[in-house]
Amino acid sequence: MGARSGFIIGNHIATGGMANVYKAYQPSLKREVAAKQLLPEFKENLEIVQRFKLEAYSLAEMQHPNIVQIYDFDEEQLIFFLEFIQGVTLDELLVAGQGLPVDNCVKILSDVLAGLQYAHDRKLVHRDIKPSNIFITSEGNVKISDFGIAKIIGDTNKVDINTEFGQFIGTSSYASPEQCIGGIVDHRSDIYSSGVLLYHLATGKQPFRGDSQEATRTMQVYQTPVKPTELSGDIPPKLSDIIMRAIAKRPEDRFQSATEFIEAMQEIVKPDNSEVYYKEALQEYDAAIQSKSYVKTKTALLKAEKLCRMTLESKSDHSGCIELSEHIAQSLSNVNRRIYSLYTFALMCVIAITSSIFYFTKTDYGSLDLSSFQQEMEVFLDDRSIGSTPNVFNNIPVGKHSLYVSDSNYFKSKPIEVDIQKNSITAISIPIPSFGKIFINSESPGKEIIVDGKQLSVTPSTVKLPVGMRKITVGKQEQEVTILEGENEPVIFK
């Protein structure tokens, strides 16, 4: 074809749905590239031209190791230049009826999903994930190609072609149910196609294959395929469950992101460390048997027990570990029984010693009777609150104590000395003045109420005061008020 835009076009490689692919060379960087040019018969088809441009624009926005990289785009000639991949497509690797090893399936699809997650993060849905669009390089790397029917979601400033509702676009054998009916698609459509691809990789068979494209699409929408485990005994049940979830008919029942899909598969390909764990379990068991300390023995046995569990998680039929687990369980039972006996003996010793100390150092007690009080007052014994009146207080240590009562507001009695006798009740009577209640307010609420120099509250408020003449100050105003027993006339300050 000759030179184009700094590239030399070479031999024809393949023809796709809407473009020819050529091998090319970029002299300026001395590297081989691939050239993809729209087929001449489509150059007047505005929709296909726009899709071709969209593929170039989409690839230009993405720099990811699992996505084919674009180098240049000649918009006038409708040709763009991509990295040249030395390798094969997945459909060249797949042999009918033969699946790939599980580790290979997980590795390939994890790389595909990593590239898709990168595209999804940029609001781009591929819509045509299938074996012929997945390359495996000679180094074993995975590359996603052909974003020709990709869809950009949620950004009207980018070039996009609106697929009419009810119009199918994609590849029937790998398209999601919503794609097959021409419905609204999002990134979960790629999740579905990736699940179909994983089914094909693992079993060697496509889950949906009808006599016609229309029949295949009908199967995609309505039929549930045979579980992969029913087609091959080499497929782990967990992988089969993952595949069936990925190809669920309803998008909300699938994995909700490519990353979530990857994480689910990683659980399947954990390395088999059963022999390493088993060896460590044996070492801990030997250390437990040789130890003369019950605590150290139990610690080693618990470590050995945990290592046995880890061994069996990696290899559930490990006969040596199963036998060792039984020995560990028996040894733990014996050690626990011995430790329990020691703890019981130690506890009995502690109880005996404590009882002896209590017997020789016990404190004698008496009671304090303040039940004759007519008003509720807080009682303080040796400056510590012990309750309120009227009440009888028991378990008071014998001897002399300082006692006073307070209404926790205005009144506090003078401290008196009380002498508590062993096993006797000491009745006390403290002179308590009569009290009256008075409502105090001010034209501006929130002013401090001070009675006889003590701040009691803020206006408006009802306070309890001893009967007699009281000096009440609110703000800058001051009044002398005679407090009578019971309710008193309100006092209002300006």
For residues 236 and 268, is the Cβ–Cβ distance under 8 A?
yes
Domain count, the chain: 5
Residue 309 and residue 166 share a domain: no
Domain range for 421: 365-427
H, E, C per residue of 426-465: EECCCCCCCEEEEEEEECCCCCEEEECCEEEEECCEEEEE
Whole-angstrom Cα distance, residue 410 to residue 345? Answer: 58
Whole-angstrom Cα distance, residue 382 to residue 378? Answer: 13
For residues 105 and 99, is the Cβ–Cβ distance under 8 A?
yes
Residue 339 and residue 205 share a domain: no
Residue 223 and residue 119 share a domain: yes
Confirm whether 128 is a catalytic residue.
Answer: yes
DSSP state letters, 60-126: HT---TTBPPEEEEETTTTEEEEEPP-EEEHHHH-BTTBPPPHHHHHHHHHHHHHHHHHHHHTTEE-
Residue 249 and residue 177 share a domain: yes
**What's the pLDDT score for residue 75?**
84
State which of 266, 283, 300 marks the end of a domain.
266
Residue 185 and residue 98 share a domain: yes
State which of 266, 295, 318 marks the end of a domain.
266
Q: What is the pTM of this model?
A: 0.55
Q: What CATH number does the domain containing 79 carry?
A: 3.30.200.20
Q: What CATH number does the domain containing 155 carry?
A: 1.10.510.10
Whole-angstrom Cα distance, residue 14 to residue 21? Answer: 5
Choice among 72, 121, 128, 383 that is catalytic: 128
Identify residue 49 by its one-letter amino acid code.
Answer: V
State which of 314, 344, 359 marks the end of a domain.
359
Residue 170 and residue 139 share a domain: yes
**What's the pLDDT score for residue 66?**
93
For residues 128 and 171, is the Cβ–Cβ distance under 8 A?
yes
pLDDT by residue, tens only, the chain of 494 residues: 555 668 898 899 888 778 888 999 988 899 999 888 899 898 888 888 888 888 888 888 888 999 988 888 888 888 889 889 888 888 888 876 688 888 889 999 999 999 999 999 988 888 889 998 899 988 889 999 887 666 655 543 343 444 444 456 778 889 999 989 888 889 999 999 999 999 999 998 999 988 998 999 999 999 999 999 998 888 889 999 999 999 999 999 999 999 999 999 987 776 667 788 888 888 988 888 888 888 888 888 899 899 888 888 777 788 888 888 888 898 888 888 888 888 888 888 888 887 777 666 557 889 999 887 777 888 899 989 888 888 899 989 999 999 998 876 677 888 999 999 988 999 888 888 888 889 999 888 888 889 988 888 888 888 888 889 999 999 888 999 999 988 999 999 88
Residue 128 and residue 69 share a domain: no
- 18: phi then psi, degrees, rounded to nearest 5: -140, 10
**Cis preceding linkage at 433, omega within 30:** no
Instruction: Write down the residue that tokens 């395929």 correspond to.
Output: 225
Q: Which two tokens stand for residue 270?
A: 């954990």
Residue 251 and residue 158 share a domain: yes
Handedness of CA 272, 278, 279, 283 (dihedral sign): positive
Residue 240 and residue 305 share a domain: no
Q: Which two tokens stand for residue 259?
A: 């990353």
The residue among 352, 353, 293, 304 whose CA lies nearest residue 326 is: 304
DSSP reduced 3-state for 468? strand
Q: At what angle do helices 319-361 and 294-314 cross, to 10 degrees?
A: 150
Residue 444 and residue 421 share a domain: no
For residues 90 and 105, is the Cβ–Cβ distance under 8 A?
no
Instruction: Write down the residue that tokens 């068979």 correspond to.
Output: 205
Residue 316 and residue 401 share a domain: no
Whole-angstrom Cα distance, residue 378 to residue 385? Answer: 7
Q: Which two tokens stand for residue 424?
A: 């006797």
* Residue burial 210-244, b: 16+ Cβ < 10 Å; e: rest: eeeeeebbbbbbeeebebbbebbeebeeebbebbb
DSSP state letters, 145-192: ---TT-EE-S-TTS----PPTT---S-TTT--HHHHTT----HHHHHH
DSSP state letters, 133-158: GEEEETTS-EEE---TT-EE-S-TTS
Residue 158 and residue 216 share a domain: yes
**What's the pLDDT score for residue 360?**
60
For residues 376 and 383, is the Cβ–Cβ distance under 8 A?
no
